[in-house]
Amino acid sequence: MIFTKDIIMFAYCNFMFLIKKKISNLFIGAIFVFYPLVSQGQNPIFRQMYTQRYLTNPALVGNGSIDGLGIERISSGIKAQWMSLESRLYTQSLSYDAPIKANNSNWGIGAFMTDLNSGSIEQSKYSHFSGTLSYAYNIPFKKMNLKFGLSAQFSSITFGKNNFMWEDQINESMTGFVKPTQEPLSQLTKNVVHASAGALIYGKKGFLGLAVHNVNEPNISFFTDQNQTIQRKFLVHGGLVFDKIFNHAILTPNFAYSKQGNVQSALFSTNVKLDNLQLGLGTQYVRAFGNSAWCVTNYLGYRYDKYFIGYSTDWNLSFNYGSIPVIHEFSVLILLNKKVKKLITNPFPEM
């Protein structure tokens, strides 16, 4: 998903043969040749998608409930990838969402940060910070709700200024990069605003949602004379709820399908809730630019009073990517004050 050593080497080789006047443009161009690694990485995907709801579908914010009463929620999560490799990718998220007591509206605020650290000194090669404000409106019916949501997101994308080699750093004898660069390193940061929209229909027995991320397709090129947009991402997700089975357990098979440009992902999983314990098992298929991969995901969560802790892992099954290690994800959810307003029981596979 993100800037890797292969990209660094690709950019470096170009730098050695190109004139200084073009070096900055070609550096950024080398980055965006690997389009899915960067522009599609602006949409982080948490495996526990119904814990980090504001990143999944804007219409999901404010849907927390206990015993049919709406609640406020604070959710946090961290996702760690490539832990056994020299490069380490971390994504962290923190959000708050709640129903608005006076009407059928809901709101939420959230932020996430992604960092790619690599090398023995753990230098940051890439970082991405985003803040999001979401609003959703609910239209209640007798046995189901229809909900629409909007969100606005501000993103700041930065590449490590001191972690790349530039042509003007080479000394006269061509033996090393020892001279200070005169390149405009300030251009390695890009700020953009993008919007998302979503719709959701749900009841006690199931749910179905649709979300469109990056509706305005913002330009994330570092230079004004270039145009590299984040393509729209389309997501369809849904599930059914089967209760009073297996000694009062609640079974929720669910799916999520997304498409962004040439990248497609399909996730199928089943969650089982038994009192305060929740388990999950699923599989995901991803296809991007002619390549495909499978993984198996498992989940374990437990609620104590107003706190809920979840842990999940992804296990790669694809032969071509067998060296990629497991992905870990950890989340903490805090259930806050109950609202007087009655809601349809939360059907989503998460406390």
The residue that leads in pLDDT, 245 or 185, is 245
Residue 163 amino acid letter: N
> Which pTM value belongs to this model?
0.78
Distance in angstroms (rounded) separating the CA atoms of residues 39 and 264: 14
309 confidence band (pLDDT: 50, 70, 90): very high
What DSSP letter does each residue of 145-202 carry, written as one string?
EEEEEEEEEEEEEEE-TTSS--GGGB-TTSS-B-SPP-S-GGGGEEEEEEEEEEEEEE
123 confidence band (pLDDT: 50, 70, 90): low
**Winning range, highest mean pLDDT, from 88-92, 114-118, 254-258, 316-320:** 254-258
Around Cβ 164, how many Cβ atoms within 10 Å?
Answer: 19
Kindly tell me if the per-residue pLDDT of 257 is higher than 90. Answer: yes
pLDDT in tens, 1-55: 333 334 434 444 443 433 333 333 333 333 333 333 344 445 677 889 999 999 9
Domains and CATH numbers, the chain: 42-342 (2.40.160.40)
Distance in angstroms (rounded) separating the CA atoms of residues 295 and 317: 5
Kindly tell me if the per-residue pLDDT of 184 is higher than 50. Answer: yes
Residue 199 amino acid letter: A
Q: How far is CA 217 from the centre of its chain?
A: 17
Residue 210 confidence (pLDDT) = 97
| Pairing verdict, β 65-66 and 69-81 | antiparallel
